[in-house]
Amino acid sequence: MVGVKKPIVMGPYVPDWPLVRRGNKLQKPTALQQLARITKRGIWFQQHRMARGIILSSTAAIEKVPNRTRFEKKLRIIPYGIDIDSFHPAKLPAGKTILFLSKVSHHKGIMVLLDAFRMVHEALPDASLIVAGQGPEMELAGAAAATIGDGTAVRFVGRVERKSVPAYMQNCTVFCLPSFGEAFGMSALEAMACGRSVVVTDDGGLRYIVTDEGGRRVPVGDPDKLAKALIEILKDPTLSQNMGDFNRRQAELQYAWDKVIDRIEALYYDVMEGRPASQPAPYGSCAN
């Protein structure tokens, strides 16, 4: 970047992934990891000093901007976009189905979800859980699932082809992602675009994507509150439908690719013409 004369826009930045060890416990960074983080922050500071615009994927990514008050006028929050034609709503299924579609790992909260689903199944014996994906905790998760009810309430479908993801989203009642932190939370956004309610953890990018009108946010690593949120939605089809409708509107208004591209394009115009990045420019649609 040194000596570059053209205006530079950096990002999108996402928050750091938390470190999770077995037993669903957050792990403190090692001395080497802390040193690497300090070194990175020093480099970021110099880069941000030279940049004219800095894109954050969500407010959670503000941690990636050291001395943020100094660079406040350069910041703009622009989320990732989604294809709202591929991810579109469908009628709610007749049953009570929870979908977990992610890497089957401690970090993604699969063991917390299975602990919560045990309580959900006790309250709603006709509820089912679909686990879509693969990962290092498949064996551990399978053993835990086998002890819930008669062992058939949890179904593992393995890796899902990308083209099949919308259908899985459309065929669930509620999507659940109880991870220990998400850099953004793209799978939750995909479920929202499909008109589904979502239950996630109140952390990382998910904290800023999911609202009370479209789902529930619960503390990280808390199976009791996770179960309570899932039961609330599964017991009330009207609530689930209203949440899904709200989420679809949010996807159309804020996350559709044409909306996101307009915001990126406006930022480029701003930095080229010397306006602060935090002052959106009055440019028209990218379709023009």
Say yes or no: 250 and 263 in one domain.
Answer: no
| 287 in a structural domain | no
What domain count does the chain have?
2
pLDDT at 33: 84
pLDDT in tens, 229-274: 999 999 999 999 999 999 999 999 999 999 999 999 999 999 998 8
Mean pLDDT, the chain, whole residue set: 91
- Please spell the DSSP secondary structure of the chain, one letter per residue: -TT--S--EEEEE-PPPPPEETTTEE-PPPHHHHHHHHHHHHHHHHHHHH-SEEEESSGGGGGGSTTTTTTGGGEEE-PPPB-TTTS---PPPSSEEEEEES--STTTTHHHHHHHHHHHHHH-TTEEEEEE---TTHHHHHHHHTTSTTTTSEEEEE---GGGHHHHHHT-SEEEE--S--SS-HHHHHHHHTT-EEEEESSTTHHHH--TTTEEEE-TT-HHHHHHHHHHHHT-HHHHHHHHHHHHHHIIIIIBHHHHHHHHHHHHHHHHTT--TTS------TT-
User: Do 39 and 151 belong to one domain?
Assistant: no
19 alpha-carbon distance from chain centroid:
17
pLDDT digits (tens, 9 = 90+) for 113-167: 999 999 999 999 999 999 999 999 999 999 999 999 999 999 999 999 999 999 9
Name the band, by pLDDT with cuts 50, 70 and 90, for residue 283: very low
pLDDT given for residue 66 in this prediction? 81
Checking if the pLDDT of 275 tops 60, the result is yes
| 154 in the same domain as 59 | no
The pLDDT of residue 25 is: 67
- Is residue 109 assigned to a domain? yes
Contact 195, 179 (CB under 8 A): no
Q: Is residue 170 part of a domain?
A: yes
Domain contains 71 = yes
Range of the domain at 19: 9-81+256-272
Distance CA 286, CA 53 (A): 19
Residue 279 lies in a domain: no
Same domain, 146 and 217: yes
Residues 205 and 71 in one domain: no
Question: Is the model's pLDDT at 34 over the cut of 90?
Answer: no
- Asked whether residue 58 falls in the same domain as residue 107, the answer is no
Q: Tell me if 266 is assigned to some domain.
A: yes
Residue 55: inside a domain, yes or no?
yes
Q: What does the alpha-carbon distance between residue 277 and residue 73 come to, in Å, rounded to a whole number?
A: 6
How many alpha carbons fall within 13 Å on the CB side of residue 140? 16
In a domain, 58, yes or no: yes
Residue among 81, 267, 272, 271 nearest 283 (CA): 267
- What's the sign of the alpha-carbon dihedral 135, 136, 139, 145? negative
pLDDT reported for residue 22 = 63
**Pair (243, 261) in one structural domain:** no
**Within this chain, do residues 107 and 152 fall inside the same structural domain, yes or no?**
yes
CATH of the domain at 129: 3.40.50.2000
81: left (phi over 0), alpha (psi -120 to 50) or beta: beta
Same structural domain for residues 119 and 238?
Answer: yes
Specify whether 108 is located in the same domain as 247: yes
Say yes or no: 242 and 262 in one domain.
no
76-112 pLDDT tens trace: 999 999 999 999 999 999 899 999 999 999 999 999 9
> Is 23's pLDDT higher than 70?
no
Instruction: Please state the rounded mean pLDDT for residues 4-23.
Output: 81
Is the domain of 145 the same as that of 249?
yes
How far is it, in rounded angstroms, from Cα 47 to Cα 26?
Answer: 30
